[in-house]
Chains A and B, each alone.
Chain A
Amino acid sequence: MTIVKESAPHLRRKASVTRMMVDVLIALAPTLIFAFVVYPLNTLWIFLISLFTMNACEFAYVGLRNMMPKDNLKHSFKERFTYSYKGKYKLSNALTASISAIIFCLIVPAGCPLYAVFLGSLVGITLGKLVFGGLGSNIFNPAAVGMLFAKICFGNQYQQVDTWYYTIPDAASGGTPLGVLNGGNLTNIGDYPLLDLFLGRIPGTLGEVFKITIILGLIYLLIRRSADYRIVVSYLGTVAILMLIAGLTIPGVNALHFTAYALLSGGVLFGATFMLTDPVTSPINPPSRWIYGIVAAIFTVFIRLFAALPEGVGFSILLANMIAVFLDHYEWTNPRYTWKKYLAMGLLLVLSGLTVFLVIKFGGVVNG
């Protein structure tokens, strides 16, 4: 018998990163299946292209990162390959790339051209993650980076896709549900009944539209504790509060209907469940996570109501990712709840609520 030394503690708990990633995959599965059912062919192609691209990039990155140092000896390809990959390319690498790929696949619309899907996933994983040092070091959410890249660069090439699940309402009446919120005519809010928003019978992206599967995934993640409830609660709560203020300010709009409309349209629920809660890009300590959710929600609401573009969630996630780095700075990081942090949260809510109120009341941006 051999006795080896080991530093304390000598026990570990069962939970692991791989298991957390598998949990996210399980939570994503119902939404993905729904996308396959509604748009079988489009989803298949987008899914395969993004999955392949992101995994290939991750694989290549691991190889490049762990290249054999230069010496004057000859090494066979097999030798070099094992040196680069053995023990370095793990299950977690494949899982994390796959999660990014599936999220990316679910936040692009069915009519996204396939070259845009390819370029989006390429840019997303490379600029969103690998340039920062791969798993655990990235600042931005790779899927959000990829989606925005595809949308900004190739947005006009997106096509409308017909499906058996719903029929697109008369094109003249007012565009997408988000377009209605963003500077559109709010009288058109009735074009999309809340039930249709909930069941995803609206034009939108592959996975963001069907709320039942997303809520199932959210519940699963929260039960398994693979997502932090603080971020989800603070994000959804702040969006609801600000949208309620907006609804109360805009004349002639039912505030509750307006809030529910805002929560159910676009990627708010999907982003809160799968993108904002990504632990790598969120702050570390609990109070910062509350603030992070609030900040992301404020960005979402501002972009949705006042910006020149309808897609608020993707941008707000990236902006909040940057705030996360700031919140984790060592000078003020502290896992305890202090009065300063409560004050910061309160001020953020009050000021943003006030901004929403004043801009709508006097800016005349949103017409009733």
Chain B
Amino acid sequence: MLAVLNKYRSIFAIGLQSNLVYRWNFAVRASFSLVHLTFVFVLWGAAFSGQAGIGGFDLRQTLTYFVVMLVLQFFISAMNEDYEISEEIRNGLINQFLLKPINYYLYRFSIFVSARLVSGLLALLPMILIYPLLADKLVLPSIGWTYAAVIPALIMSSIIQFTIAYCFGLLTFWFLEIQSFIILSLAVETVLGGQVFPLDLLPKWLYDFSAYLPYYYQMYFPAALLTGRITDQAFIIRGLGIQFFWVLALLGMAQLLWSRGLRRHTAVGG
């Protein structure tokens, strides 16, 4: 068991080193995200003008939601893992993993965790720099016990994020070009993951429906827990249960695609 852990710890360390090489790319990306944050502040500031609340939350709570969402993106969301997996399949680089005692999913997941650690920490830098400007516009909830649910929610969110990207990458076994699938999926994930607007602003029936989809648990659920948009204990426990179901379902899907995909894969050359 320890030997297995050591194997993936080494992969994590290598991933950390190779991602630190791209530290400036992550830093530039994080800086650009501040432009998006400015857009969010302007739009919602104008929407709140003349009214105390929207959907039961005031402007500070709504802006806090978007700031938390932005930081979480850099810590837990899949960025270009789908493209990297696709490239490895297309170029035959996965052949080496078929001959070694390495689980490809865990290999990629170890690299994903190291990449998000680097990108997340780098994203915090511009946030810390502009925090004095933001401080009076943000507010975090004081309901301490919801934070206990945040940790498992975040871990499961990152697994869901990565596994969806992994599954899209594996589509390369069937399709030569998967970029359009990825961008289409990104649009769905962006909306139903709550990155465009807080999902609780949707009509109730649509919100209730979205809570059964995996996208809800990619970003919205942990962000809503962190910002106090979800506080009902029974709802949180039910949410963690559904999230756990999606983790298992997606892992099953990933395994199915991998085993079926390998049957189609032709390893040429050496």
| Chain B binds chain A | no
